[in-house]
Chains A and B, each alone.
Chain A
């Protein structure tokens, strides 16, 4: 609650305006009935039509003032609330940007999105208007509670008699409702996640005609959400009329005691009516508040989930005393690195590797040997469990993530492109790059003519995740993107696996130029890609089992030799 408030208090000027607006609209609207009463009691009796005209004009002016202040109040509260929502969304997003890869491995994107959208929307109702309204109503309740004692003590006590019932009812409701609403937040987030996955996996579902089963699975989630909402509705539907009933009970009590006293002659009708009115004045805010309670509950349930993310510390963080990584030469060293994605399942065990500046190192090995893992660690996508990785002799944990990653260019195994044109995507790593530079980068990797051939050339829209390009085109674009960023350290993780042999050939020829002055790590299954590397490492189960140049390893006739031979000899060669 306090925390939600703090987002609103961030706009003190607005808050003050809102308070002024609220106060004046309350004052104007309370003043209006007095004017009316004046008209009836004075002008009507005197029969002075001119005075009456003045009074009614005053009334109309007041009414218009009420309208204007209500407008001002509505507008400013919305502005305040929506700004708070905006800030919350923005800061949740910024926090998510800092979360490490391990977090994204565990959490489905659908459920994260659900928090960024659904949950924050729930808060928005509370923040814009709701909160202010709540305070105003509280104010009224307390005001009434004080005012009633000034007139008749006994009836005042009777009026307040039902408050304990009210308190108990609210208390019971609150606990149950909170549970119920929490459940609905969970179920809706599952529904959203399922929708998200169905949309991204549409192709696979179609391939295997799994529509029926997917439908069944969805139906289950949908049904759960239905149930959770109906359960929550049960509470809400009981509660609201119940509160009203308690209010009615209060009126009955007042009537009962009041009527007796009127008959006795110790009470006037006016006072009785006053208390009946006060009862409704007292209960209306309570009803509004409790009615609003649904909103509040679901807002809190949303807030809880949003804040849960904001409170989770990113696993990979800058140290407080982190320094910039500057003027990188490109010396890389893995020292006794131990790493596991989960628990004790070590993917790398006591891994050691030293790479000299400007050296090109190729890593080969069976699938799942840990090649991608080795490079993931260099970028600090994950944190090593023990040991250390150094660049130019500085532990990568001691430098800022920003400067570290800015110096490393990474072409990932699955190339992800952003919506936009090919040009936008290539420029992603260096927005200020000129068109010429972009063309140069694509020429080096032999992608220029392929891109040029597309309907709109470099201005072709790539679609979501680059879905409107062929797989190879996608890889080429992400390759070009990494090159243009001109990093000191270049990592190519199967960067050309889906690229045709011709184009790969072009890349090979350009490679020398490409890798000049950079330290690079190349991962590839296609051995033609790596023969020219300064050093080739054969990785097996997270260990380096062979290392040397192509010639050395071939001469050795062990692991590498057999890999290489398998790939080219048995079928390809016609000798």
Chain B
């Protein structure tokens, strides 16, 4: 109910069209009701043998009435199409807007295929309802009442006899509606699952083909496809059962009418003409019954689809703009993490107690094993995810979150907080307040998100390019950048020369996700894109992993110039890059284990020092073995 009401609110935004087509639909229906009367007149006139002239007049009346009806019918259809299309347009715009605003956690939770089904086919289903649903239900209900009214005029007794048809019809419609909705809903959901599987297969076809797992994937698709088939057939089976049942109820009514009519006729209460009129009136109930069952089907389908689509609009965003955002005029680029804990929900702590401070213009290198949380650290700066807002305690190196009543469960026992402490086995554990991140001394949650992100340029670990030209991809951050600026960015990213070798240069299309480029080319275009954004804070997440040593060196040189005075975060597995950083942060399992510059860390003789030595030794051996001299 609620979903269609909500959809109707969209329709009512186009009041003129909505009211227009509804009222014209009523007028058209009226005209349609009148024409048979005129027809009756014509027949009466010619049979009474009277006047051929009057008959001709009536014939023209008939023609013009009918013409009006057709004309109104046309307008009505057109207006309803306009209205439906308008609503769909609005709805899609809103959906798109909402998808743009969703945080990444939303995309982690929902598969592309499912989202896609919700914003495409489900929307189409709603359009079907907008196009037909209102009209059909409206006309159906109106003619139902109208017909009964006319029957009442002719014979009250017989009408009362036939009155039970009405609740029977309504009951059937009600049962049908109730039964079919869950089936439609699961059919829609299954459709989403099917699209998700198809989507994954299309996108990952290269892997499927290289593992020769076509048969297996085919089976997977077949399974989902079959399940969908089953649900759809179920849904249609229900309508195939209930829709003709409505007509059957009317037929049974007619049967009863025949008998009772016969009784009344022989009693002389009913005239011949009245009886025939009655039978045809019962017949006329057929149309509204059909319309109503059709309309209810549309309604249920649309309601299931609407629920799925509105889910997207309603999904709560966790990352939102503050009420009263702090002004960002010129960021200096000081970044500070204060006791940051982070998890992707649940107890899987990806970052634990991360604190560090970066001065404006410093270069920070993050180092650590795969999965140690480097990307997670930098993802928090532009607020792709927010710092965990729960209070936590640490016990035996594990992190436990307190609920808002101050309870925490550790190893199956629940403990309570007292004055900021929790006592476990006589050990006092301090409760940590939720951490936060500051830029220029202000909590980043106080900035407007878009302004914050405009200050940050980020090259992601897996560079995503749009299927557009190279130029559009580089100029993604600043669509109105001049060609010269684009070229400069491309030069700094060492990709300009390559682009110039292409037939269409900067206008070359790169294909979906940049498939027509090599790995290193993609990365360098992503770097150029970030550079063109001219950010105060630059984040390079393993952005040269597929670039050869030569090129990397040159990119680094260019960056050194460009990034002077800006804060830079670099994540890389190449020690050569790390050495020159102002701060090196060593991470392990979500914690910072060492921090300092190269010489400090070497002196410390900790993890960094040993890593560095191992590698140096390896390199030296490799050089020695070959007789290559070192320096």
Whether A372 is near chain B, meaning CB under 8 Å from some CB there, is yes
Whether B232 is near chain A, meaning CB under 8 Å from some CB there, is yes
Chain A residue with Cβ nearest B28: A241
**Among B387-395, B420-428, B541-549, the stretch in contact with A:** B541-549
Is B240 a contact partner of A75 (Cβ separation < 8 A)? Answer: yes
Q: Give the contacts of B500-558 with A (CB-CB under 8 A).
A: 503, 511-513, 515-521, 523-524, 529-530, 533, 542, 545-551, 553
How many chain-A residues does the 8 Å CB contact rule pick out?
A: 189
**Among B72-80, B139-147, B323-331, B482-490, the stretch in contact with A:** B72-80
Chain B residue with Cβ nearest A568: B619
**Among A137-145, A147-155, A350-358, A360-368, the stretch in contact with B:** A360-368
Instruction: Indicate whether A79 sits within 8 Å of B233 (C-beta atoms), given known contacts A245-B67, A568-B576.
Output: yes
Whether B18 is near chain A, meaning CB under 8 Å from some CB there, is no
Complex CA distance for A221 and B360, rounded to whole angstroms: 43
Is B371 a contact partner of A453 (Cβ separation < 8 A)? Answer: yes
**Among A212-220, A329-337, A383-391, A513-521, the stretch in contact with B:** A212-220
Is B77 a contact partner of A236 (Cβ separation < 8 A)? Answer: yes
Q: Give the contacts of B202-230 with A (CB-CB under 8 A).
A: 202-214, 216-218, 221-222, 225-226, 228-229
In the complex, how many angstroms separate the beta carbon of B523 from the nearest chain A beta carbon?
Answer: 8
Is B265 a contact partner of A412 (Cβ separation < 8 A)? Answer: no
Is A245 a contact partner of B70 (Cβ separation < 8 A)? Answer: yes
Is B546 a contact partner of A113 (Cβ separation < 8 A)? Answer: no
Interface core residue of B88, B191, B205, B217 (most chain A CB under 10 Å) = B205
Partner among A70, A108, A211, A526 whose Cβ is within 8 Å of the Cβ of B450 = A211
Q: Which residues of A contact B217 (CB under 8 A)?
A: 97
Partner among B59, B121, B255, B370 whose Cβ is within 8 Å of the Cβ of A118 = B121
Chain A residue with Cβ nearest B220: A418
Whether A203 is near chain B, meaning CB under 8 Å from some CB there, is yes
Chain A at the B interface: SS class: helix
Whether A136 is near chain B, meaning CB under 8 Å from some CB there, is no
Q: Give the contacts of A91-120 with B (CB-CB under 8 A).
A: 93-94, 96-99, 101, 104-106, 108-110, 112-114, 116-118
**Among A2-10, A166-174, A222-230, A434-442, the stretch in contact with B:** A222-230
Is A550 a contact partner of B626 (Cβ separation < 8 A)? Answer: yes
In the complex, how many angstroms separate the beta carbon of A237 from the nearest chain B beta carbon?
Answer: 4
Partner among A109, A218, A248 whose Cβ is within 8 Å of the Cβ of B202 = A109
Is B198 a contact partner of A117 (Cβ separation < 8 A)? Answer: yes
Whether B63 is near chain A, meaning CB under 8 Å from some CB there, is yes
Is A199 a contact partner of B99 (Cβ separation < 8 A)? Answer: yes
Whether A310 is near chain B, meaning CB under 8 Å from some CB there, is no
Is B464 a contact partner of A463 (Cβ separation < 8 A)? Answer: no
Instruction: Indicate whether A230 sits within 8 Å of B622 (C-beta atoms), given known contacts A414-B519, A501-B615.
Output: no
Q: Give the contacts of B584-631 with A (CB-CB under 8 A).
A: 589, 611, 614-616, 618-620, 622-623, 625-628, 630-631
Is A567 a contact partner of B549 (Cβ separation < 8 A)? Answer: yes
Complex CA distance for A524 and B89, rounded to whole angstroms: 49
Q: Give the contacts of B54-100 with A (CB-CB under 8 A).
A: 55-56, 59, 62-63, 66-67, 69-71, 73-75, 77-78, 81-82, 85-86, 88-89, 92-93, 96-97, 99-100
Q: Which residues of A contact B252 (CB under 8 A)?
A: 60, 63-64
Whether A476 is near chain B, meaning CB under 8 Å from some CB there, is yes
Q: Which residues of A contact B56 (CB under 8 A)?
A: 256, 259
Is B206 a contact partner of A412 (Cβ separation < 8 A)? Answer: yes
Whether A341 is near chain B, meaning CB under 8 Å from some CB there, is yes
In the complex, how many angstroms separate the beta carbon of B95 from the nearest chain A beta carbon?
Answer: 8
Whether A176 is near chain B, meaning CB under 8 Å from some CB there, is no
Q: Give the contacts of B240-272 with A (CB-CB under 8 A).
A: 240-241, 243-245, 247-248, 251-252, 254-256, 258-259, 262-263, 265-266, 272
Whether A572 is near chain B, meaning CB under 8 Å from some CB there, is yes
Complex CA distance for A527 and B218, rounded to whole angstroms: 40
Whether B104 is near chain A, meaning CB under 8 Å from some CB there, is yes
Complex CA distance for A203 and B461, rounded to whole angstroms: 11
Complex CA distance for A234 and B212, rounded to whole angstroms: 49
Is B370 a contact partner of A476 (Cβ separation < 8 A)? Answer: yes
Is B549 a contact partner of A525 (Cβ separation < 8 A)? Answer: yes
Is B240 a contact partner of A498 (Cβ separation < 8 A)? Answer: no
Chain B residue with Cβ nearest A114: B120
Is A233 a contact partner of B81 (Cβ separation < 8 A)? Answer: yes
Q: Which residues of B contact A223 (CB under 8 A)?
A: 89
Whether B573 is near chain A, meaning CB under 8 Å from some CB there, is yes
Is A561 a contact partner of B100 (Cβ separation < 8 A)? Answer: no
In the complex, how many angstroms separate the beta carbon of B193 from the nearest chain A beta carbon?
Answer: 11
Interface core residue of B259, B371, B515, B575 (most chain A CB under 10 Å) = B371
Partner among B96, B247, B256, B549 whose Cβ is within 8 Å of the Cβ of A563 = B549
Q: Which residues of A contact B213 (CB under 8 A)?
A: 428-429
Is B275 a contact partner of A83 (Cβ separation < 8 A)? Answer: no
Is B59 a contact partner of A259 (Cβ separation < 8 A)? Answer: yes
In the complex, how many angstroms separate the beta carbon of B462 from the nearest chain A beta carbon?
Answer: 6
Chain B residue with Cβ nearest A485: B211
Whether B23 is near chain A, meaning CB under 8 Å from some CB there, is no
Q: Which residues of A contact B256 (CB under 8 A)?
A: 56, 60
Is B573 a contact partner of A499 (Cβ separation < 8 A)? Answer: yes
In the complex, how many angstroms separate the beta carbon of A318 from the nearest chain B beta carbon?
Answer: 12
Partner among B232, B251, B346, B517 whose Cβ is within 8 Å of the Cβ of A66 = B251
In the complex, how many angstroms separate the beta carbon of A137 from the nearest chain B beta carbon?
Answer: 16
Complex CA distance for A193 and B241, rounded to whole angstroms: 38
Instruction: Indicate whether A450 sits within 8 Å of B371 (C-beta atoms), given known contacts A93-B201, A210-B476.
Output: yes
Chain A 156-193 interface 0/1 with B at a Cβ cutoff of 8 Å (1 = within) = 00000000000000000000000000000000100110
Instruction: Indicate whether A191 sits within 8 Å of B92 (C-beta atoms), given known contacts A74-B244, A97-B209, A105-B515.
Output: yes
Q: Which residues of A contact B244 (CB under 8 A)?
A: 66-67, 70-71, 74
Complex CA distance for A347 and B466, rounded to whole angstroms: 23
Is A431 a contact partner of B216 (Cβ separation < 8 A)? Answer: yes
Complex CA distance for A62 and B247, rounded to whole angstroms: 12
Q: Which residues of B contact A238 (CB under 8 A)?
A: 74, 78
Is A341 a contact partner of B111 (Cβ separation < 8 A)? Answer: no
Whether A273 is near chain B, meaning CB under 8 Å from some CB there, is yes
Q: Which residues of B contact A52 (CB under 8 A)?
A: 258-259, 262-263
In the complex, how many angstroms separate the beta carbon of B271 from the nearest chain A beta carbon?
Answer: 11
Partner among A106, A213, A251 whose Cβ is within 8 Å of the Cβ of B511 = A106
Whether A469 is near chain B, meaning CB under 8 Å from some CB there, is yes
Q: Which residues of B contact A234 (CB under 8 A)?
A: 78, 81
Q: Which residues of A contact B512 (CB under 8 A)?
A: 104-105, 108-109, 197
Is B546 a contact partner of A497 (Cβ separation < 8 A)? Answer: yes
Whether A43 is near chain B, meaning CB under 8 Å from some CB there, is yes
Complex CA distance for A429 and B214, rounded to whole angstroms: 11
Partner among A192, A341, A499 whose Cβ is within 8 Å of the Cβ of B120 = A192
Chain A 459-483 interface 0/1 with B at a Cβ cutoff of 8 Å (1 = within) = 0000111011111110110000100
Chain A residue with Cβ nearest B43: A269
In the complex, how many angstroms separate the beta carbon of B396 from the nearest chain A beta carbon?
Answer: 16
Is B453 a contact partner of A245 (Cβ separation < 8 A)? Answer: no
Partner among B59, B112, B477 whose Cβ is within 8 Å of the Cβ of A196 = B112
Chain B residue with Cβ nearest A46: B266
Q: Which residues of A contact B577 (CB under 8 A)?
A: 571
Chain A residue with Cβ nearest B260: A56
Partner among A199, A240, A419, A465 whose Cβ is within 8 Å of the Cβ of B116 = A199
Given contacts A74-B240, A105-B512, A502-B611, 19 further A-B contacts (CB under 8 A): A36-B254, A74-B239, A75-B240, A99-B205, A113-B199, A195-B120, A203-B384, A209-B477, A210-B476, A219-B93, A256-B59, A364-B548, A372-B518, A405-B210, A429-B213, A472-B371, A525-B547, A525-B548, A571-B579
Query: 4 smallest A-B Cβ distances: which pairs?
Result: A367-B520, A74-B240, A472-B370, A63-B251
Cβ contacts A to B, 17 pairs, < 8 Å: A43-B262, A59-B254, A75-B236, A195-B99, A196-B112, A203-B104, A205-B100, A209-B450, A233-B78, A248-B67, A249-B63, A259-B42, A263-B49, A269-B43, A419-B196, A500-B369, A500-B372
